[in-house]
Structure 1
Amino acid sequence: MKITLKDGSEKGYERSMSVLDIAKDISEGLARAATCAKIDGDIVDLRTDVSKDCELELLTFDSEDGRGAFWHTTSHIMAQAIKRLYPETKLAIGPSIDNGFYYDLDRETPFVAEDLEKIEAEMKKIVKEALPIERFTKTREEAIAYFKENDEPYKVELVEDLPEGEEISFYKQGEFVDLCAGPHLMSTKAVKAFKLTSLAGAYWRGSEKNKMLTRIYGISYPKKADLEEYLHMMEEAKKRDHRKLGRELGLFMMCDEGPGFPFFLPKGMVLKNTLLDYWRELHKENGYVEVSTPIILSRHLWENSGHWDHYKDNMYTTMIDEEDYAVKPMNCPGGMLVYKSEPRSYKDLPLRMGELGLVHRHEKSGALHGLFRVRCFTQDDAHIFMTPEQIRDEIKGVARLIDEIYSLFGFKYHVELSTRPDNSMGSDEDWEMATEGLRGALDDLGLDYMVNEGDGAFYGPKIDFHLEDSIGRTWQCGTIQLDMQMPQRFDLEYTGADGEKHRPIMIHRVAFGSIERFIGILIEHFAGAFPTWLAPVQVKVLPISEKHLEYGKKVLEQLEEAGIRAELDERAEKIGYKIREAQMNKIPYMLVVGAKEEEQNLVSVRSRFAGDEGQKDIASFIDAIKEEIQAKVQREVTKED
Structure 2
Amino acid sequence: MPVDPNSDPYYRLRHSLAHVMAQAVLEIFPDAKIAIGPPIENGFYYDFDLPRPLTPEDLSEIERRMKRIIAGNHPFIYREVTAEEARQIFANQPYKLELIEGLAKGLDEYGETHHGDTVISTYRQDTFEDLCRGPHLNHTGEINPEAFKLMSIAGAYWRGDEKNRQLQRIYGTGWNTKEELEAYLHRLEEARKRDHRRLGKELGLFFFSDDIGPGLPIFTPKGEIIRHEMEKFVREVQTRYGYQHVWTGNVVKEQLYRKSGHYDNYRDSMFPPMVESEDLVFRLKPMNCPSHMTLYNQLGVISYRDLPLRFAEFATLYRYEDSGALSGLTRVRALTQDDCHIFCRPDQIQEEFSLALQVIREVLGTYQFTDYKVRLSLRGSEGKYVQDDEKWELATAALRSALEANGVEYFEVEGEAAFYGPKADFLARDVLGREWQLSTIQVDFIQPARLGCEYIGEDDKPHTPVVLHRAVTGTTERFMGILIEHYGGAFPLWLAPVQAVVIPITDKQMEFARQVRQRLFMAGLRVELDDNRDRMQGKIRRAQLQKIPYMLIIGAREEAADSVAVRTRAGEDLGAMPVDAFLARALEEIRTRS
Q: Structure 1 residues 204, 322: CA separation in 2 closer, same or farther (over 3 Å shift)?
A: farther
Unaligned stretches of 5+ in structure 1?
1-42, 45-58, 634-641
Which residue of the partner structure matches residue 121 of structure 2?
A: 169
**In 2: Cα distance, 1:164 partner to 1:618 partner:** 77
Q: Larger deviation: 381-390 or 253-262?
A: 253-262
Which residue of the partner structure matches residue 184 of structure 2?
A: 230
AA aligned opposite 2:283:
A
Which residue of the partner structure matches residue 383 of structure 1?
A: 341
**In 2: Cα distance, 1:401 partner to 1:67 partner:** 36
Which residue of the partner structure matches residue 7 of structure 1?
A: none
Which of 93, 113, 117 aligns to 1:152? It is 93
Which of 124, 134, 141 aligns to 2:77? It is 134
Which residue of the partner structure matches residue 559 of structure 1?
A: 520
How far has the Cα of 1:545 moved from its partner?
1.9
Instruction: Determine helix, strand or coil for the equivalent of 1:162.
Output: helix
* Conservation of the 8 A alpha-carbon contact between 2:42 and 2:174: no
The reply to whether residue 588 of structure 1 matches residue 549 of structure 2 is yes
**In 2: Cα distance, 1:190 partner to 1:339 partner:** 62
Which of 198, 221, 228 aligns to 1:273? It is 228
How far has the Cα of 1:605 moved from its partner?
0.9
AA aligned opposite 1:251:
L
How far has the Cα of 1:213 moved from its partner?
1.6
Which residue of the partner structure matches residue 415 of structure 1?
A: 374
**In 1: Cα distance, 2:458 partner to 2:293 partner:** 22
Q: Percent identity of the aligned residues?
A: 47
Which of 350, 374, 392 aligns to 1:392? It is 350
Instruction: Determine helix, strand or coil for the equivalent of 2:577.
Output: strand
**In 1: Cα distance, 2:495 partner to 2:57 partner:** 43
* Conservation of the 8 A alpha-carbon contact between 1:541 and 1:556: yes
**In 2: Cα distance, 1:310 partner to 1:99 partner:** 32
Q: Structure 1 residues 154, 325: CA separation in 2 closer, same or farther (over 3 Å shift)?
A: farther
Instruction: Determine helix, strand or coil for the equivalent of 2:403.
Output: helix
May I ask how many residue pairs the two structures share in their alignment? 571
How far has the Cα of 1:187 moved from its partner?
2.1
Which residue of the partner structure matches residue 257 of structure 2?
A: 302
Instruction: Determine helix, strand or coil for the equivalent of 2:471.
Output: strand
**In 2: Cα distance, 1:391 partner to 1:69 partner:** 42
Instruction: Determine helix, strand or coil for the equivalent of 2:548.
Output: coil
Which of 292, 299, 321 aligns to 2:247? It is 292
The reply to whether residue 523 of structure 1 matches residue 464 of structure 2 is no
Which residue of the partner structure matches residue 221 of structure 1?
A: 175
Superposed CA deviations along residues 172-191 of structure 1, whole A, max 9, x for unmatched, are: 11211112232222222222
* Conservation of the 8 A alpha-carbon contact between 1:421 and 1:458: no
Instruction: Determine helix, strand or coil for the equivalent of 2:540.
Output: helix
How far has the Cα of 1:98 moved from its partner?
2.4
Which residue of the partner structure matches residue 142 of structure 2?
A: 190
How far has the Cα of 1:326 moved from its partner?
2.2
* Conservation of the 8 A alpha-carbon contact between 1:140 and 1:164: no
Q: Structure 1 residues 318, 250: CA separation in 2 closer, same or farther (over 3 Å shift)?
A: same
**In 1: Cα distance, 2:334 partner to 2:132 partner:** 38
Superposed CA deviations along residues 104-158 of structure 1, whole A, max 9, x for unmatched, are: 21112111222211111111122221211122223334433432x2x22222222
Superposed CA deviations along residues 494-525 of structure 1, whole A, max 9, x for unmatched, are: 01111110010111111111111111111111
Highest relative contact order (Cα 8 Å, sep 6+), 1 or 2?
A: 2
Unaligned stretches of 5+ in structure 2?
107-117
Q: Normalised by the size of structure 2, how large is the TM-score? A: 0.93
How far has the Cα of 1:589 moved from its partner?
0.4
Which residue of the partner structure matches residue 588 of structure 2?
A: 627
Instruction: Determine helix, strand or coil for the equivalent of 2:396.
Output: helix
Which residue of the partner structure matches residue 5 of structure 1?
A: none
**In 1: Cα distance, 2:421 partner to 2:373 partner:** 20
Instruction: Determine helix, strand or coil for the equivalent of 1:529.
Output: coil
Which residue of the partner structure matches residue 305 of structure 2?
A: 347
Superposed CA deviations along residues 249-284 of structure 1, whole A, max 9, x for unmatched, are: 001112233111111111111111110110110110
**In 2: Cα distance, 1:253 partner to 1:345 partner:** 48
Which residue of the partner structure matches residue 484 of structure 1?
A: 445
How far has the Cα of 1:609 moved from its partner?
4.8
Which residue of the partner structure matches residue 509 of structure 1?
A: 470
Instruction: Determine helix, strand or coil for the equivalent of 1:578.
Output: helix
AA aligned opposite 2:53:
P
AA aligned opposite 1:130:
N
How far has the Cα of 1:530 moved from its partner?
0.6
How far has the Cα of 1:366 moved from its partner?
2.1
How far has the Cα of 1:610 moved from its partner?
6.0
Instruction: Determine helix, strand or coil for the equivalent of 2:380.
Output: coil
Root-mean-square deviation (CA), in Å? 1.7
Which of 204, 207, 219 aligns to 1:264? It is 219
Q: Larger deviation: 338-347 or 496-505?
A: 338-347
How far has the Cα of 1:200 moved from its partner?
1.5
**In 2: Cα distance, 1:463 partner to 1:113 partner:** 43
Question: Where does structure 1 differ by over 4 angstroms across 4 or more consecutive aligned residues?
Answer: none
